[in-house]
């Protein structure tokens, strides 16, 4: 049965098989919320498929077929989220298909160069880690050239894997590397099964009587490393900071003002003012993206003056849309921070949106070129706590470093690279048109916050948008759709404004590190060999039991000296799938 299935895949119907499998996995893995395991399986199949067709005269036709079916699967996965993105269904379909097809092009170079370069790489470890390095590099480039940043990248969402703790260290490129590394492991094992364990010797290490070949040791090192990297997720304290221990944390109550008129109309300025006045317990209140529209600077300043007269002591993050003076037909999205202690003209206009949604915003709005900045909010002591107990003289206040960004800007890998220190909280007003899109942007916002070691206050004004506080070991969504909410969070005190490792070194340095890691397998293999010597007695004692299992027997059985599949002529489809 096993051999007949192998023959079916490699000899009888390989094109149909890979087309169906790639379409199915693309549908599962390439939606608005890519999951870790389906993505690993898709890359594994693509890697095997690429190795199979690399030297065939039909490779162009098969590559085109793979492109078509993966783009179709990705389009299907995005259809529900994109159906109402544009003014007509035809435009939405066209946009989704084009974006899916173009995104696939960034997956081709790592697969191609993995085949072409691997044979020239000296060590087993470098051969195994070549594809993960190429994969992480390709998607880093894609995120910088794409108008939607990392939103369409083939990268898993944070809730689908156990490697979130590594994000402040190596950023999203490290997660991409891990995905591709697991794909290498799965494709190596699948290729051995397809070729038959008794015939498969990828690097031609022949005549060895050791329990594990050199390539198997490198593969075992890779698997062990990937598994070890999951341990901190199970051993570290994953609970958020307690806000009630004032000696070590600052209690900060944040909220999102989301009025929802019963007639379904867009809330007015009066609606937002009324809703904000009810949230007296909050320290920071955020409005969603484009909450109000100002036709002139005078109208904007009048609204700000009105907000300063409210009885609340909260800082109000007013997300607004205003017409530009140079082009009255176009608008720009901004965010201002208002407080009753300010005088007219003292309000902080924190930020204007830099990345516009293609097609829907790119023609009607003006993007900003100004980077976000950090503002320090000075919190005075709460009731029941004396000023000296709260903070030292002379101000007796606790500073809360705060910055902001708006919706799609969070998908950009360079959203906060200009910051020279770490914010405690990022204000994130947003407005999405579909729950899946809202969830995708929520994931991007949490990832950017985790990269900086911060938290994000996410306020989505879409009808089915999601809102909450993310980062700082907080993951729960507070609200779906309309209705205002508040939540108390804890900010470490005194707050360390030093940047995370990823914030200091940046994405390029991470890529350089991953390239250097390709040459670091010698040390890993050495440690593995030394560990295996220490446990030699255990391995020897269990070898007899292992050899009683046919599957294991085939894996550990030494290959005959003449079985040089690497240098052998390709016979049908039973070629060396992994170089």
Of the candidates 490, 492, 462, which has an alpha carbon nearest to the alpha carbon of residue 256?
462
Predicted local confidence at residue 45, as pLDDT: 95
Q: What is the pLDDT of residue 556?
A: 40
How far, in Å, CA of 23 to CA of 45, rounded?
A: 11
- Classified as helix, coil or strand, 444 is helix
How far apart, in Å, are the Cα atoms of 473 and each of 165, 238, 242, 437, 470?
10, 6, 11, 23, 7
- Taking CB atoms within 8 Å and a gap of at least 24, the contacts of 84-87 are 84/433, 84/434, 85/360, 85/433, 85/434, 85/437, 86/359, 86/360
User: What is the pLDDT, as a whole number, of residue 563?
Assistant: 32
Q: What is the CA radius of gyration of the chain?
A: 28
**Mean pLDDT along residues 207-229:** 78
Residue 78 pLDDT class (50, 70, 90 cuts)? confident
Cα separation, 129 vs 69, whole angstroms: 27
pLDDT at 503: 93
Which bin fits 154, alpha (ψ -120 to 50), beta or left (φ > 0)? beta
Question: Which letter does DSSP use for residue 8 in this model?
Answer: I
Q: Write out pLDDT tens, residues 101-136.
A: 999 999 999 999 998 888 788 788 999 999 999 999
On the question of a cis peptide bond just before residue 346, with omega within 30 degrees of 0, the verdict is no
pLDDT at 158: 81
- Residue pLDDT, tens place only, 240-268: 999 988 889 999 999 999 998 888 788 99
Over 50: is that where the pLDDT of 541 sits? no
pLDDT at 565: 28
Question: pLDDT band for position 278 (50/70/90)?
Answer: very high
Per-residue pLDDT, averaged over 223-227, amounts to 95
C-alpha 140/C-alpha 157 separation (Å) is 16
Report strand pairing: 284-286 vs 466-471. unpaired
pLDDT at 494: 92
DSSP labels, 87-147: SSHHHHHHHHHHHHHHHHTTTHHHHHHHHHHHTT--SHHHHHHHHHHHHHHHHHHHHHHST
Checking if the pLDDT of 145 tops 50, the result is: yes
3-state secondary structure of 400: strand
How distant is the alpha carbon of residue 463 from its chain centre? 25
CA 5 to chain centre: 36
As a whole number, the mean pLDDT across the chain is 84
Instruction: Please say if the pLDDT value at position 169 is more than 50.
Output: yes
Percentage of the chain beyond pLDDT 90 is 55
**Mean pLDDT lowest among 207-211, 397-401, 490-494:** 207-211
pLDDT of residue 472: 86
State the alpha helices, DSSP H only, in 416-500. Answer: 435-452
User: Band of the pLDDT at 1, cuts 50, 70, 90?
Assistant: low
Rounded to an integer, the average pLDDT of 449-453 is 94
Average pLDDT over every residue of 350-373: 88
> Residues 471-485: pLDDT tens digits?
988 888 999 988 899
Nearest to 45 by CA among 191, 172, 178, 173: 191
Structure-model confidence comparison of residues 210 and 137, the more confident one: 137
Of the pLDDT bands very low, low, confident and very high (cuts 50, 70, 90), residue 47 is very high
Q: In whole angstroms, what is the distance from residue 7 CA to residue 502 CA?
A: 47
Q: Is pLDDT of 566 > 90? A: no
pLDDT of 488-539, one tens digit each? 999 999 999 999 999 999 999 999 999 999 876 444 444 444 444 544 443 3
Q: Residue 216: pLDDT band by 50, 70, 90 thresholds? A: confident
pLDDT score, position 520: 61
Distance (Å, whole) CA 499 – CA 478: 28
pLDDT band at 349 (very low <50, low <70, confident <90, very high): low
Confidence at residue 540, expressed as pLDDT on a 0 to 100 scale? 45
Using the predicted structure, report yes or no on whether residue 35 has a pLDDT greater than 70: yes
């Amino acid at each position: 049965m096993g051999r007949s299935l192998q023959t079916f895949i490699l000899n009888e119907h390989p094109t149909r098989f890979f087309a169906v499998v790639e379409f199915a996995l693309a549908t599962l893995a390439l939606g608005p919320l890519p999951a870790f395991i389906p993505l690993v399986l898709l890359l594994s199949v693509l890697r095997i498929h690429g190795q199979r067709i690399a030297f065939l005269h039909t490779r162009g036709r098969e590559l085109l077929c793979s492109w078509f079916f993966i783009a179709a699967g990705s389009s299907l996965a995005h259809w529900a989220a994109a159906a109402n993105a544009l003014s007509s269904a035809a435009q939405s379909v066209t946009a989704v298909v084009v974006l899916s097809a173009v995104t696939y092009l960034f997956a081709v170079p790592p697969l191609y160069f993995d085949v072409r370069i691997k044979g020239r790489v000296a060590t087993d470890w470098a051969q195994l880690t070549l594809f993960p390095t190429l994969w992480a590099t390709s998607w880093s480039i894609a995120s910088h050239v794409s108008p939607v940043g990392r939103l369409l990248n083939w990268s898993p969402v944070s809730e689908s894997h156990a490697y979130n703790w590594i994000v402040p260290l190596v950023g999203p490129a490290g997660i991409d590397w891990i995905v591709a590394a697991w794909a290498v492991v799965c494709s190596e094992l699948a290729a051995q099964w397809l070729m038959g364990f008794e015939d498969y010797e990828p690097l031609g290490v022949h005549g060895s009587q050791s329990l594990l070949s050199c390539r198997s040791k490198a593969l075992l090192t890779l698997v062990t490393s990937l598994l070890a990297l999951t341990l901190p997720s199970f051993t570290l304290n994953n609970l958020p900071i307690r806000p009630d221990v004032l000696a070590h944390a600052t209690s900060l109550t944040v909220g999102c003002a989301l009025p929802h008129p019963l007639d379904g109309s867009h809330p007015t300025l009066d609606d937002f003012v009324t809703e904000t006045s009810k949230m007296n317990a909050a320290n920071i209140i955020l409005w969603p993206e484009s909450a109000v529209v100002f036709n002139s600077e005078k109208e904007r300043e009048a609204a700000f003056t009105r907000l300063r007269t409210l009885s609340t002591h909260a800082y109000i993050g007013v997300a607004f849309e205003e017409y530009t003076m140079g082009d009255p037909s176009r608008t720009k999205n901004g965010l201002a921070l208002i407080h009753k202690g300010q005088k007219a003209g003292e309000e902080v206009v924190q930020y204007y949106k830099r990345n516009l949604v293609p097609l829907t915003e790119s023609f009607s709005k003006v993007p900003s070129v100004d980077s976000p900045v950090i503002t320090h909010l000075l919190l005075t002591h709460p009731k029941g706590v004396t000023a000296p107990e709260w903070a030292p003289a002379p101000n007796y206040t606790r500073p809360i470093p705060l910055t902001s960004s708006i919706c799609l800007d969070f998908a950009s890998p360079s959203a906060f690279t200009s910051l020279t220190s770490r914010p405690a909280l990022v204000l994130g007003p947003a407005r999405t048109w579909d729950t899946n899109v809202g969830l995708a942007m929520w994931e991007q916002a949490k990832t950017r916050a985790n990269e900086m070691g911060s938290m994000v206050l996410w306020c989505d004004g879409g009808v089915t948008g999601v809102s909450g506080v993310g980062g700082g070991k907080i993951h729960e969504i507070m609200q779906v759709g309309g209705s205002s909410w508040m939540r108390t969070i804890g900010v470490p005190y005194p707050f360390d404004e030093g940047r995370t490792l990823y914030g200091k070194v940046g994405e390029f340095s991470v890529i350089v590190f991953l390239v250097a890691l390709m040459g670091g397998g010698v040390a890993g293999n050495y440690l593995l060999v030394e560990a295996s010597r220490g446990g030699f007695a255990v391995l020897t004692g269990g070898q007899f039991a292992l050899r009683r299992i046919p599957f294991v027997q085939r894996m550990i059985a030494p290959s005959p000296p003449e079985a040089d599949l690497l240098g052998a002529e390709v016979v049908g489809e039973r070629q060396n799938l992994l170089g």
